[in-house]
């Protein structure tokens, strides 16, 4: 990313850019996870300024809005955000390449049978495979198949850790957070295949002491929300 | 559904706390109009307040606020809880709509004229002197006050007045690049001061 473009996160978050600047910056955002994170935080900061401007609302406005809502159709949810089937195939190629290059995959609940790529392939080739981008540090993508109850998590660009720490992946739902394993592969690209227990609605990656923890002990550096991605 | 089930199991306990905006928005995404009505009560004040601040015209502001609130209903399925609070999502929509309205209605010379007439101190004073000084508003006021004057004025003009950063630069008589960095630096300080998660 160019430093010049990165400086635009604040003005962009406050809608203080021209349409031309916005278009250019949004193309940049597509490939800069750190910028997306910063924009999200600065937008949330702007929203606090907005909330501080709250006023009393004339009571009749509610009736008008509710009447309008009653005759307004809702948009359908986006199932696979940002990545269509073509994107999944690209990701698949990248993942299989990574697996072939002996990037360690932690396989949970599935017997890892040679060749190594098979659980990954099983998810990625599922007819209902969909991809969800994560939010936070680095760039994380979860490809999941509800029919196979499995998901592949691919994270790249997470900061390197010292020998005393590891990245640990958590499946989070009503019942709390359950470890899906440690990401111990190459710092540049980490991959993990996991079963998705019913009720899992978020996945988080935290930094934990080497060997992992029974439960998350630090805030998630990256989160992926599964809600809405049926 | 699950919430109701749990309530039935514990009839003697105090009633469950009212659902928060995130939970309501989740129900709205499933087409629940009752949940929308409850969500409306949480968000209408901030939405109308923000668009009024940007547009400075009550009739227009009510019209835009109405559009924003219906848009929240329409787009509820697109809200991703992992990406921020429901109110933050709603106010992002509201701000963009208000700014679009300002920019489509007032092009060219008209805007320059408006910028020239602006008293740059006023928007901040509106915040500082608000009679509705809730704890949250006090916090925002304190955190704004902790910024440098240029950071504060840049942010206030950009956010509350809906100016682009080159327009802010024009009003403040500094280079656009300076405003761009001051907005970012100031927002980062505000974020840390307000303890904004995301």
Please state the rounded mean pLDDT for residues B151-162: 96
- Confidence class of residue B69 from pLDDT cuts 50, 70 and 90? very high
Cβ contact (<8 Å) for A14 and B155?
A: yes
Residues of B in Cβ contact (< 8 Å) with A34: none
CA separation, residue A15 to residues A84, A169, B92, B165 (Å)? 28, 35, 9, 9
Q: Which residue is closest to A223 within chain B, CA to CA? A: B82
Rg of chain B in Å (alpha carbons)? 19
- Confidence class of residue A227 from pLDDT cuts 50, 70 and 90? confident
Left (φ > 0), alpha (ψ -120 to 50) or beta: where does A74 sit? beta
Paired with B163 in beta bridges are none
Helix (H) or strand (E) holding A5: helix A3-6
- Residue A69: pLDDT above 90? yes
The pTM of the whole model exceeds 0.90? no
Paired with A144 in beta bridges are A130, A151
Q: How far apart are CA B144 and CA A48, in angstroms?
A: 11
pLDDT reported for residue B84: 86
pLDDT reported for residue A208: 87
- Confidence class of residue A93 from pLDDT cuts 50, 70 and 90? low
B92 touches chain A (CB under 8 A): yes
pLDDT digits (tens, 9 = 90+) for A190-217: 777 788 877 888 888 888 888 888 888 8
Rg of chain A in Å (alpha carbons)? 20
Q: Please count the CA atoms within 13 angstroms of the CA of A122 that sit on its side-chain side.
A: 18
Three-class SS of residue A209? strand
> Beta strand A130-133 with A150-156: parallel, antiparallel or unpaired?
unpaired
Q: Rounded mean pLDDT of chain A?
A: 77
Q: Which residue is closest to A70 within chain B, CA to CA? A: B33
Alpha helices for A107-183 (secondary structure H): 118-124
Please state the rounded mean pLDDT for residues B145-161: 96
B77 touches chain A (CB under 8 A): yes
Q: How far apart are CA B111 and CA B179, in angstroms?
A: 18
pLDDT reported for residue A95: 58
pLDDT digits (tens, 9 = 90+) for B86-137: 999 999 999 999 999 998 876 544 555 555 444 443 444 444 444 446 778 8
Which residue is associated with the tokens 């198949």?
A: A145
A152 phi/psi in degrees, rounded to 5: -115, 125
pLDDT digits (tens, 9 = 90+) for B5-19: 444 544 455 566 788
B197 touches chain A (CB under 8 A): yes
Three-class SS of residue A7? coil
Between B2 and A179, name the one with better pLDDT.
A179
pLDDT digits (tens, 9 = 90+) for A97-152: 554 443 334 444 333 334 444 566 677 666 677 777 788 777 777 877 777 777 87
Q: How far apart are CA B104 and CA B99, in angstroms?
A: 9
pLDDT reported for residue A186: 59
The percent of residues in chain B predicted with pLDDT above 90, rounded, is 67
- Residue A77: pLDDT above 70? yes
């Amino acid at each position: 990313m160019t430093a010049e473009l990165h400086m635009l996160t604040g003005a962009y978050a406050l809608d203080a850019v021209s349409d031309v600047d916005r278009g250019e910056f949004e193309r940049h955002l597509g490939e800069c996870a750190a910028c997306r994170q910063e924009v999200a935080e600065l937008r949330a900061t702007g929203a606090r300024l907005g909330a501080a401007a709250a006023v009393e609302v004339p009571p009749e406005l509610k009736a008008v809005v509710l009447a309008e809502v009653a005759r307004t159709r809702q948009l359908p949810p986006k199932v696979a955000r940002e990545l269509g089937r073509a994107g999944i195939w690209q990701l698949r190629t990248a993942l299989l390449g990574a697996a072939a290059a002996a990037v360690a995959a932690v396989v949970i609940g599935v017997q890892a049978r040679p060749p190594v790529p098979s659980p990954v392939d099983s998810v990625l080739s599922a007819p209902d495979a969909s991809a969800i981008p994560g939010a936070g540090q680095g760039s994380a993508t979860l490809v999941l198949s509800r029919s196979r109850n499995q998901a592949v998590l691919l994270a790249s660009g997470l900061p390197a850790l010292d020998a005393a720490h590891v990245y640990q992946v958590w499946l989070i739902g009503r019942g709390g957070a359950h470890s899906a394993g440690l990401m111990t592969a190459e710092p540049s690209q980490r991959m993990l295949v996991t079963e998705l227990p019913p009720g899992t609605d978020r996945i988080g990656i935290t930094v934990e002491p080497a060997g992992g923890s029974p439960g998350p002990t630090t805030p998630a550096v990256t989160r992926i929300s599964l809600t809405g991605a049926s | 559904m699950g919430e109701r089930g749990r309530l039935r199991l514990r009839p003697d306990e105090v009633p469950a706390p009212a659902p928060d905006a995130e939970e309501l928005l989740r129900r709205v995404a499933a087409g629940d109009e009752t949940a929308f009505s409850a969500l409306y009560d949480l968000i209408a004040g901030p939405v109308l307040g923000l668009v009024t601040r940007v547009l400075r015209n009550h009739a227009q502001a009510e019209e835009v606020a109405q559009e924003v609130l219906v848009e929240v209903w329409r787009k509820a399925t697109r809200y991703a809880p992992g990406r921020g609070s429901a109110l933050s999502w709603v106010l992002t929509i509201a701000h963009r709509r208000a700014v679009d309205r300002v920019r489509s209605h007032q092009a060219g010379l008209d805007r320059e004229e408006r910028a020239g007439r602006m008293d740059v101190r006023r928007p901040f004073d509106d915040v500082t002197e608000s009679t509705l000084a809730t704890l949250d508003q006090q916090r925002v006021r304190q955190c704004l006050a902790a910024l440098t004057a240029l950071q504060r004025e840049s942010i206030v003009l950009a956010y509350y007045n809906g100016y682009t950063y080159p327009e802010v630069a024009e009003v403040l008589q500094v280079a656009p690049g300076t405003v761009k960095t001051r907005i970012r630096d100031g927002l980062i300080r505000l974020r840390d001061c307000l303890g904004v998660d995301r």
